[in-house]
Every structure is written in structure tokens, then in C-alpha cells.
Chains A and B, each alone.
Chain A
Amino acid sequence: MNKTLTQISEPSDGAMLSKVGRRYFLRSAGVAAATGAFILGACTEQDLVTDDTVNLGSGDIGILNYAYALEQLEAAFYTQVMATPYLNMTDMEKWILTDIRDHEIVHREFFKTALGSAAIKGLTPNFSAIDFADRRSVLGAAKLFEDTGVAAYNGAGKLIKSVDYLLIAGKIVSVEARHASAIADLINPNALEFASGQIDEMGLEHAYSPSVILSGVQPFVMDKISGKDLPR
């Protein structure tokens, strides 16, 4: 049931990520639109911590760890994608997915080094819902991770106290948005998807709070992540 990163290369049972993704986004949208009661509910759940829970911490360090956690997840995902490429991956897809893998690794290592001893541990991903042999499953998951990353950075910006950290987050979020656009365009070329779905009627892309994002990504991480001390 619980697979570690090294076991993920086995073809999974085909549980379609698109289903997971849809469920996640519906839930996210619901939480975002709902009153604070829902968010408080999610936090209470996270308070039921065990000793193994990874606490992201508080203040700007907490936000950097939050970003570090998301980048770990993305880097592990694309590392697996390129270690076990799906059938008939085109050259263009290879270039794009390899570039993105390398960007996410740079992001991960940047936060790890910047955080130093304050960094959370290396997380163990849970990609059992993703069929790495299947193009649709992989690109669907990539889209989910990129869209989530953008919404996470967009929502975290106002929680950052340091102008320097805010600028660094800004430097990264637009690269995640460039990824999101490219992935969506691989799924449906020259259509509206490169910039739709995640953007409201005012032309503003989603911005989600850490509690919403963390509940969405938790199914993809074996470790229990707690954001209970993050700024809000």
C-alpha cells in the first residue's frame, strides 16, 4: 500500500490521478469559498500530531520550509518521470520535462541550503496514485503539481515578512507558472488551457492559503506535514 520513492517505478494499478486531481481541486475550491470553519477544521486535524509529524515551523522560516516541502515533492515527481519515461514520450516532451526536473531540483537545493539547520527533513513522497507509464496520468499529475505550486506561492506572498524572501518567492513562482503553461499546452496544444481553469473572471490566478494547499498535497506525501504554526 505505501510505496517509497524507489518502489514507484513498478507500474501502479492505474488509479487515475486525474480523478485524484479533480477531487482535490473541488475540495480546494470548496474550502477556499467556505467560511473559516472549514479551514479551522483542517488545522485541528493537523494538530493531532504524532512524533513523526513534520512541523514546517513559524514565521518566514516556516514559509521557506513550506516552499521547500512543495519543491521536494515536485523534484521527486519529475525525477521519477524521467527515470521511467512513459511510452512514446516525444523529444519535445523529454526536453521540457527534463528542464522542469532540473529547475525543481535547483529550487529544492536552494531552499535546503538557505534554510540550513532550520530545514525540515527530506520527505518521502507517495505517488501511488500516479501511473508513470501513462502519458495522461503523468501530465495530469504535472499539471496538478504546477498549478498547486503557483497557487501556493501566490497565497504565501502576503505571509512573508522579509522583502528579500518575498523577492525570491516571486522569482520562483513565475517559473512555476511558465511550467504550468507548458504542461497544459502539452496536454492540449494551442488551446485555452495554458491559462485557464486556475484564473478567475478578474484575470487573477488562484492564491491559496497554506492550509488549503497542505491538505491538497498531503495524499502525495508519506510523512504527515503540519503547518499549524505558519503565519496566516
Chain B
Amino acid sequence: MNIFRILDSIQQVDGDAAGRLAHSTRRMFMNRVGSTLASAAVPTVFASIVNKAYAATPSVTDILNFALTLEYLEETFYFQANRMTNFIPAEYTLVFHQIERHETQHVTFLKSALGAAAVDRPQFDFTYGGAFPDAWTNFMTFITISAALEDTGVRAYKGQAGNLIGSPQILEYALQVHSVEARHASLVRRIIGKLKNDPMMKGWITQDKGFPPAVYKGATPESNTVHGGLDAATLSGIGSISRDNVTEAFDEPLTMEEVLAIAGPFIKKMGM
């Protein structure tokens, strides 16, 4: 159910992904459903899956599988990069090994939390459907994707915190992963700033600075300054602090659908 839901979500929000994923979805759907259910029941089951894809609050299992899919994506990305020769500059190898280590720990943790309900590792396409053709030959492209993945991770966990409010321990685990992703994002962004000699590319997000834009925009863009109805940019006590600095002081959430639209093109084929 969880895999279907993720795929259905991707397809509904990303037209391009829908075309590419249709084949594998159909095949997986037939494998999964065909083996366990009589064919007459299939249309009803499919309708209920589609309806559930946009249920108001995703279940804890759905959220953890959503997180696991993102962690698989990150882990696979760093695993491959860290095993290439002469790709990651020597001064940054410790950094990217440390990040990979955490992503592996997160995958292990989420898989053990989910048990039999855990989704399998998808097959990934880090060229993003051809948008990043030099992902594995150009370190600047690699590190741009890295920052996008980390910042998406931060925003994704943040976006699900409210949905976990009824499961305090799971919420705490999610927050404990969330801040680790933010630590990664901060350093990766700072390395990009250094390599590009761009002082406005900081460890924190100024307005919605970063690439690709979808990672930093959304229903509540990173440039947002209104939190709980209070506009932090107009607080009387902040004196001459710039609006840029105010936007940096708060990170913003992405919805599950927004995250899946971003992550979709990285997913070539869902795990079976």
C-alpha cells in the first residue's frame, strides 16, 4: 500500500514522472495485487488506493516509509560517490563519508522501526531524468544535488512533524534525524559557497537561495517570514536586522506531495 501511495502521489503531482513511472507501476501493481487477489476485486482495490493517497493525515507507517525512501536516495547517492576514485576532492572526503554514515544509520533505523512494512530500496537515476547529465563526472553538479537532497530532507521531516504529534516517540526520532540533515545541509551549502566564491550561499537559506528552485519554494517557501500568524520581519525589537537575515532564521516545511514531486525524477523504479 505504501509503495502505491508514494507512486500515486508522484504521478498526481508530476506529469513527467507519471509517464516514466506508469510502466513500472502497472507491472508492480499487477504483481502485487494479481498474486493475492482475485481479478474481479482489482478495480475496487485500485480505487481505494488512489483515494487513500490523499487522505488528510498519512499514517505513521506511511510517514516512515516516505522517510525511508528519502534516506535510501541519500545513502545510495553518497555510497556511489564515496567509492569513485578522484571524484570527491581530498579535503572533503571525510565530510561525505560522515554524511553517508549517517544516512546508512537512518536507513537501518527506519527499516528496523518498520519491520516487514518497510519499502524496498528503489532504483535511482541521479541524472534526474537527464537534467544533471554530469552528476558523476562534475563535482560541482554532485555537490549541488547533495545540497538539494539535504535541504529537501530537512524540509520533508519538518513537514511531517505535525502529523506525528500523536506518536511522541516517533516524533522525537524524526526530530533527531531532522537536525542531523540540517547539519549536513549547512556544511554542504557552505562548501558550495566557497567553491563558487559566492558569499550569499551560506549554511542557512537566504530568501529561497538554492538549486533547483523547487527545493526552496513550495506552498510555504523558504523566503516566508510569517510563522503562526506573526510576521518576524516586522517585529519591533529586531532593529535594523535585514529581511534576508529574518528569512534565514526560520527553515520552512515541504508537504509530502511537494517532496515527492522533487524526489520523483530521482526514482527510476520503486523497489519490489
Q: B249 is contacted by which of A106, A114, A190 (Cβ under 8 Å)?
A: A106
Q: Are B238 and A106 in contact (CB under 8 A)?
A: yes
Q: Are B235 and A158 in contact (CB under 8 A)?
A: no
Q: How far is the CA of A114 from the CA of B4 in the complex (A)?
A: 42
Assuming the A-B contacts A195-B183, A203-B109, are A105 and B238 also in contact, with contact meaning beta carbons closer than 8 angstroms in the complex? yes
Q: Are A175 and B250 in contact (CB under 8 A)?
A: yes
A176, closest chain B residue (CB): B179
- Partner-binding segment picked from A7-15, A32-40, A125-133, A179-187: A179-187
Q: B182 is contacted by which of A110, A181, A196 (Cβ under 8 Å)?
A: A181
A201, closest chain B residue (CB): B105
Q: Are B182 and A106 in contact (CB under 8 A)?
A: no
Counting CB contacts under 8 A, is A109 at the interface?
yes
Counting CB contacts under 8 A, is B202 at the interface?
yes
Q: Are A204 and B173 in contact (CB under 8 A)?
A: yes
Q: Are A203 and B248 in contact (CB under 8 A)?
A: no
Assuming the A-B contacts A113-B237, A167-B161, are A154 and B175 also in contact, with contact meaning beta carbons closer than 8 angstroms in the complex? yes
Q: Is the interface of A mostly helix, strand, loop or mixed?
A: helix
Q: How far is the CA of A177 from the CA of B190 in the complex (A)?
A: 14
Q: Are B199 and A194 in contact (CB under 8 A)?
A: no
Q: Are B161 and A106 in contact (CB under 8 A)?
A: no
Q: Is the interface of B mostly helix, strand, loop or mixed?
A: helix
Counting CB contacts under 8 A, is A1 at the interface?
no
Q: B102 is contacted by which of A113, A158, A203, A206 (Cβ under 8 Å)?
A: A203
B174, closest chain A residue (CB): A157
Chain B neighbourhood of A168, CB < 8 A: 227-228, 250
B151, closest chain A residue (CB): A174
Chain A neighbourhood of B171, CB < 8 A: 157-158
Q: B175 is contacted by which of A102, A109, A170, A181 (Cβ under 8 Å)?
A: A170
Assuming the A-B contacts A99-B204, A157-B172, are A171 and B245 also in contact, with contact meaning beta carbons closer than 8 angstroms in the complex? no
Q: How far is the CA of A105 from the CA of B246 in the complex (A)?
A: 10
Q: How far is the CA of A174 from the CA of B184 in the complex (A)?
A: 11
Chain A neighbourhood of B227, CB < 8 A: 110, 167-168, 171
B89, closest chain A residue (CB): A190
Q: How far is the CA of A192 from the CA of B101 in the complex (A)?
A: 11
Q: How far is the CA of A153 from the CA of B171 in the complex (A)?
A: 12
Counting CB contacts under 8 A, is B232 at the interface?
yes
Q: Are A103 and B175 in contact (CB under 8 A)?
A: no
Chain A neighbourhood of B148, CB < 8 A: none
Q: Could you pull out 7 A-B pairs where Cβ atoms are within 8 angstroms?
A: A168-B227, A174-B181, A177-B186, A178-B203, A185-B190, A194-B95, A195-B180
Query: A-contacting residues of B (Cβ < 8 Å)?
Result: 91-92, 94-95, 98-99, 101-106, 108-109, 154, 157-158, 161-162, 165, 168-169, 171-173, 175-187, 190, 199, 202-204, 227-228, 230, 232, 235-239, 241-242, 245-246, 248-253
**10 tightest A-B CB contacts, nearest first:** A203-B105, A177-B182, A109-B237, A204-B176, A178-B186, A158-B168, A181-B186, A174-B182, A181-B183, A177-B179
